[in-house]
Amino acid sequence: MKILLAQPRGFCAGVNRAIAIVNQALELHGPPVYVLHEIVHNTHVIEELQGRGAIFVEELEDIPRGAVTIFSAHGVALAVKERARALGLRTIDATCPLVSKVHHRVSRLNERGYEVLVIGHKGHPEVEGTCGHARGRVHVLSRAEEVAALAVADPEKIGYVTQTTLSVDDTRDILQAVRLRFPRISAPERTDICYATTNRQLAVRRLADRVELVLVVGSKNSSNSNRLREVAAHQGRAAFLIDQADEIDPGWLEGVRCVGITAGASAPEHLVSEVVSWFAARGEISVEEMAGEEESISFQLPDLRV
């Protein structure tokens, strides 16, 4: 079996930062440290941090007064920060700086009296956090077909932001429909889809062109990982999202001689190595890493002394 590895794949700068924040907060303050929502959407990362003393909750009310509390990389609404303060929690914000940038843009648009379109997946925590930075009217838009039904007060005073992990191709279509209906929209030069999302989608497209089957390592609730699987499927390849090697169905491999592997921005590299080992245990393999975009971006940690 020939195995091709996409490049870049796996952890992005925001995920590295968020996981480092939890680890260092555990060292500095001692366990337990509470995290509102999964720090990143990966079951293995969560289990590992739970083993060190992190406690993941979905409600602030489940955190004892005075406890160290970390907001996940996906960001939270302003109301959540205010509520945490009222509950007497000692908070650390692990929101990815590229998500925070989107939050600031939403606030600025509202201050100027603009309504905000948030292009993204309804119910995703990043979208909820982004919408929660609007102090005026905000609309979530998931598909181009929804544009026609949008009711806005003043078509001259609207702006948009996007979720950071969207499909580059789908977003282009949605924005085309938005610009057609609102030609005077306050539009940035580019979307808020982040560098990591863009690079991983480009890499998996190139990978899919060279293999018969694509495996994306990532958890089922990871938006960016799901998009990678879709990009590969869109190229006409069989493509599956797996949390770990034991989810591989040998039936997928019938007649397959070349497999491509990539990983979502929240999936640790050791899981990719385990998938490669899974193949090695079943026969002779050759492994090639594709050339791709170099990534050198990293983010500083916030002050953890709370």
| Cα–Cα distances in angstroms (integers) from residue 121 to residues 3, 136, 164, 221, in the given order | 33, 20, 11, 12
Contact partners, residue 99, CB within 8 Å, separation at least 6: 14, 73, 74, 75, 126, 129, 130, 164
| Touching ligand 2E6, residues 248-277 (CB under 6 A) | 264-266
Sign of the C-alpha dihedral, residues 144, 150, 155, 160? negative
Shortest separation between residue 166's beta carbon and ligand 2E6, angstroms: 10
In this structure, the strands spanning 2-5 and 286-289 are parallel
Binding partner of residue 260 among ligand F3S, ligand 2E6, none, CB under 5 to 8 Å per kind?
A: none
In the bound state with ligand F3S, the residue whose beta carbon lies nearer, of 153 and 297, is: 297
Active site residue 126: yes
Q: Among residues 8, 10, 14, 132, which is the contact residue for ligand 2E6, using CB under 6 A? A: 14
| Span of 46-54, 151-159, 193-201, 271-279 interacting with ligand F3S by CB under 6 A | 193-201
| Touching ligand 2E6, residues 154-183 (CB under 6 A) | 164-165
Which member of 126, 146, 254, 284 is catalytic?
Answer: 126
Does 118 contact ligand F3S by CB under 6 A?
no
90: tokens are: 């000692």
Does 73 contact ligand 2E6 by CB under 6 A?
yes
127: tokens are: 């979208």
| Touching ligand 2E6, residues 105-134 (CB under 6 A) | 126
Binding partner of residue 264 among ligand F3S, ligand 2E6, none, CB under 5 to 8 Å per kind?
A: ligand 2E6
Residues 130/161, Cβ–Cβ less than 8 Å: yes
Amino acid of residue 50: Q
3-state helix, strand, coil in the chain (%, to 5): 40, 20, 40
| Span of 138-146, 148-156, 194-202, 274-282 interacting with ligand F3S by CB under 6 A | 194-202
DSSP string, 226-271: HHHHHHHHHTT-EEEEESSGGG--GGGGTT--EEEEEE-TTS-HHH
Strand order across the 68-71 sheet: 54-57, 33-36, 68-71, 90-93
Does 96 contact ligand F3S by CB under 6 A?
yes
Q: Which residues bind ligand 2E6 (CB under 6 A)?
A: 14-15, 40-41, 73-74, 96, 99, 126, 164-165, 222-225, 264-266
Q: Which residues bind ligand F3S (CB under 6 A)?
A: 12-15, 73, 96, 98-99, 164-165, 194, 196-197, 224, 265
